[in-house]
Structure 1
Amino acid sequence: MREGPLTWRPLTREDAQASADLLNAMETVDGIGENYTAEDTLQELIDPYTDLARASLAAFDGDVLVGFMKIRFKPSAEEVHRVFLDGGVHPGYRRRGVGTALVEAGVAAAKVVHARQHPTLRLAVDVHKAERIAGVPELVRSQGFVPVRYFQRLERALGDALPAVVIPDGLALEPWSPENAADFLATRNAAYRDHWGSAPVTLDSWQNKITNHTFRPEVGFLLRAGTDGAAAGVLVALTWEADAALTGIRDAHFMIVGTRPDHRNRGVASALVAHALRGAAEAGYDRARVNVDSPRPSGRSGLFERAGFVAARSYVRWAFEV
């Protein structure tokens, strides 16, 4: 670590390796279970809804990236446009004002992007961070952010005594294939339409965030009605090879688990989760993970608890509303 001034500029897609190096350095101290390759970070830098030129900022010490922020906006919104402010600071450069500068720049950039995308709506800037990262609550509170949602990462080892798969009457399981790929996206959007903070996912965003190099089609399933052929629910899993390389544990992260409103309370999600657990175990995964959210810190998920998942890590969604 040098004592001289830092260099500041927007991020570019050429910063993929530097971004991975920074995030992995942060992980050595924060211990939130997230490891990255340059391929992972490049996927975020080429996100079609991240405007790097107008809404990102990186701090460099020589050639070393020591802090960054970037804004992700939504292509569609109703009433409130929730943008996501992501960022972090190298452990060796914390408590030097870098984080404060990045958050302030992030809020300003969010206003610029919001004015271009959804100027007639209200703006909310969201920050999502693990509870265990020291200094984050003090930093975001000092900038006017308040907690609005609470998340739990749940985990389950894929050993013996996996739950039985009970398929609701009139429905049939269907694995992912190129022929039904469009149904996965459509079912996700229908299932998440009334979820907190959710917005319809566009095809280009789906391809960037879901069906990229982390996508695991062998752990992707629909439940489809036999009468009209409409999908009732969907489950999609991803995995990050950098995590497996470091820990020796292959995780199947259930990124999307959703049921269409007209099929809820029939056991659709339970059937999908039970089937995916068995599918992941047969495919050689060691553990399943899923994130669930709640309006309260003590929120629980009966569905995943019944399937044997236990809480592993807590997160807070902070928001600054303009």
Structure 2
Amino acid sequence: MTVTSTALRDRVASPELELPQHPDIARWKPATLDDLDAMMVLMDAADRVDHPASTTTRAQVENALKSSELIMATDTLVGESASGVLIAAGVVAEAQAKSTRVQVYLEGTVHPTWRGRGIGRQLLAWQRDRALQLLSASPHALPGWIMVDQEHGNIAGQHLSERAGFTLTRYFTEMERRLSDAVEIIEPMADVRIVPLDDELVESSRRARNDAFRDHWGSQPTTQERWEHMTSSPEFRKDLSRVAVEKTDAGERRVVAFALVSVNKRDWEAAGYSKAYIEYIGVVRDHRGEKLAPAIITAALQSLRDAGIERATLDVDSESPTGANTLYERMGFVAGDRGYSYVLEV
């Protein structure tokens, strides 16, 4: 990581931003909420090719467009064919939290029917330049990261990222566990209780997540807005999630470990079985070494098993500082496809 005492706005040049020009795109324009239906058609088509067993939800797309981390008029771009079909879409979002870096995330896709014609290359170039504009306006004397994730199945997207100047920096592995196999419950220490997540513990779970992930690669604090988007989405399941809580000296409940679960039933048909996704697993730093990680994981797995769900999935950093990937293997998770994180650092 680059260490600097110079503000980003004093060291990053702001490029001219021009709309792409491509013969297959009749019109480029900023996205609006009126495009949501068309964007979902586009995302569904891309998902079937890039990661057929995991689909993008409407809530994810809508929350991305509504997020205060971007302005739709300047930070989104969609391309339409002459017949008005949405062919491509891209989003540029500057993370609100800036603890150790200023991070800008790029998300986008091209309809599989129109891939291989240079549309993705032009869209990614526009996104990269818009991200550089955002970084060039930042007063923070911090490293600037432009980040783009690519799925295992999207080889063209991986090549595009590399040609656009991004460096493959990290691997994330998808892991899966069959819940037909018995779950051996591990009890936590006496003064900690494992319970389902409830509304009163949502904010404490966010603070726990931020503490637990402080030393994880690419992680910045999660804002209340982003946490609210996740925990209030139709797919998020408080009843299946599990948190370990302790009583503070003030008598309040504090989350010290968590396994937070979402269920996207649209994935079940493509996968051929029912499954749940564990969004986050973590233990706060002052409770590490107390076997809370296996305790909270087994509690979540048992909740899924009791609900009749057949498999649990999660993603893990291949170089996790807490050794999470090894822990998951010991608990019966099997590694599957990889995801790739690319970074352009300025």
The answer for the alignment partner of 1:268 in structure 2 is 292
Q: Taking structure 1 as the reference length, what is the TM-score of the superposition?
A: 0.91
> Secondary structure of the equivalent of 2:99?
coil
Equivalences for residues 241-280 of structure 1 within 5 A: 241-247=265-271, 249-280=273-304
- After TM superposition, the structure 1 stretch with the greater mean CA deviation from structure 2, 89-98 or 180-189, is 180-189
The answer for the alignment partner of 2:67 in structure 1 is 47
The answer for the alignment partner of 1:212 in structure 2 is 233
- After TM superposition, the structure 1 stretch with the greater mean CA deviation from structure 2, 164-173 or 198-207, is 164-173
Question: Conserved in 1, the CA contact under 8 Å of 2:100 and 2:220?
Answer: no
CA deviation after TM superposition for structure 1 residue 37, in Å: 4.7
CA deviation after TM superposition for structure 1 residue 166, in Å: 2.7
- After TM superposition, the structure 1 stretch with the greater mean CA deviation from structure 2, 113-122 or 230-239, is 113-122
Q: Deviations over 1:8-59 (max 9, x none)?
A: 1111122221111111111232234222454442232222323222111111
**CA–CA distance in structure 1, aligned partners of residues 315 and 330 of structure 2:** 15
> Secondary structure of the equivalent of 1:33?
coil
The answer for the alignment partner of 1:321 in structure 2 is 345
Letter in 2 for 1:303: L
> Secondary structure of the equivalent of 1:235?
strand
Letter in 1 for 2:305: A
Would the alpha carbon gap of residues 119 and 105 (structure 1) be closer, same or farther in structure 2, given more than 3 Å must change? farther
2:149 matches 1:125? no
2:90 matches 1:66? no
Q: Deviations over 1:275-294 (max 9, x none)?
A: 00000111232211111013
Would the alpha carbon gap of residues 295 and 147 (structure 1) be closer, same or farther in structure 2, given more than 3 Å must change? farther
CA deviation after TM superposition for structure 1 residue 126, in Å: 0.7
**CA–CA distance in structure 2, aligned partners of residues 186 and 5 of structure 1:** 44
Would the alpha carbon gap of residues 119 and 100 (structure 1) be closer, same or farther in structure 2, given more than 3 Å must change? farther
Structure 2 unaligned residues grouped into runs of 5+: 1-22
> Secondary structure of the equivalent of 1:216?
strand
Would the alpha carbon gap of residues 88 and 226 (structure 1) be closer, same or farther in structure 2, given more than 3 Å must change? same
> Secondary structure of the equivalent of 2:128?
helix
Question: Conserved in 2, the CA contact under 8 Å of 1:58 and 1:65?
Answer: yes
- After TM superposition, the structure 1 stretch with the greater mean CA deviation from structure 2, 144-153 or 112-121, is 112-121
**CA–CA distance in structure 1, aligned partners of residues 277 and 208 of structure 2:** 19
Question: Conserved in 1, the CA contact under 8 Å of 2:80 and 2:87?
Answer: yes
Question: Conserved in 2, the CA contact under 8 Å of 1:81 and 1:122?
Answer: yes
Letter in 2 for 1:171: V
Pairing partner for 2:332 from 308, 316, 321 = 308
Structure 1 unaligned residues grouped into runs of 5+: none
Letter in 1 for 2:147: D
CA deviation after TM superposition for structure 1 residue 258, in Å: 0.9
> Secondary structure of the equivalent of 1:220?
strand
> Secondary structure of the equivalent of 2:200?
coil
Equivalences for residues 272-291 of structure 1 within 5 A: 272-291=296-315
CA deviation after TM superposition for structure 1 residue 186, in Å: 1.6
**CA–CA distance in structure 1, aligned partners of residues 115 and 90 of structure 2:** 14
2:117 matches 1:96? yes
CA deviation after TM superposition for structure 1 residue 160, in Å: 3.0
Give percent identity, aligned residues only.
27
The answer for the alignment partner of 1:6 in structure 2 is 26
The answer for the alignment partner of 1:180 in structure 2 is 201
CA deviation after TM superposition for structure 1 residue 136, in Å: 2.1
Question: Conserved in 2, the CA contact under 8 Å of 1:55 and 1:113?
Answer: no
CA deviation after TM superposition for structure 1 residue 246, in Å: 4.3
Question: Conserved in 1, the CA contact under 8 Å of 2:25 and 2:80?
Answer: no
The answer for the alignment partner of 2:40 in structure 1 is 20
Equivalences for residues 184-203 of structure 1 within 5 A: 184-203=205-224
**CA–CA distance in structure 2, aligned partners of residues 41 and 136 of structure 1:** 19
- After TM superposition, the structure 1 stretch with the greater mean CA deviation from structure 2, 21-30 or 273-282, is 21-30
Question: Conserved in 2, the CA contact under 8 Å of 1:54 and 1:113?
Answer: no
Letter in 2 for 1:58: V
Q: Taking structure 2 as the reference length, what is the TM-score of the superposition?
A: 0.85
CA deviation after TM superposition for structure 1 residue 257, in Å: 0.7
CA deviation after TM superposition for structure 1 residue 89, in Å: 0.9
Q: Report the RMSD for the aligned CA atoms in angstroms.
A: 2.2
2:255 matches 1:231? yes
**CA–CA distance in structure 2, aligned partners of residues 176 and 80 of structure 1:** 31
> Secondary structure of the equivalent of 1:224?
strand
Question: Conserved in 2, the CA contact under 8 Å of 1:148 and 1:319?
Answer: yes
Equivalences for residues 146-165 of structure 1 within 5 A: 146-165=167-186
Pairing partner for 2:101 from 62, 80, 88 = 80
**CA–CA distance in structure 2, aligned partners of residues 47 and 237 of structure 1:** 22
Letter in 2 for 1:172: R
CA deviation after TM superposition for structure 1 residue 176, in Å: 1.2
**CA–CA distance in structure 2, aligned partners of residues 116 and 69 of structure 1:** 21
Letter in 2 for 1:258: G
* Aligned residues between the structures: 318
**CA–CA distance in structure 1, aligned partners of residues 218 and 130 of structure 2:** 20
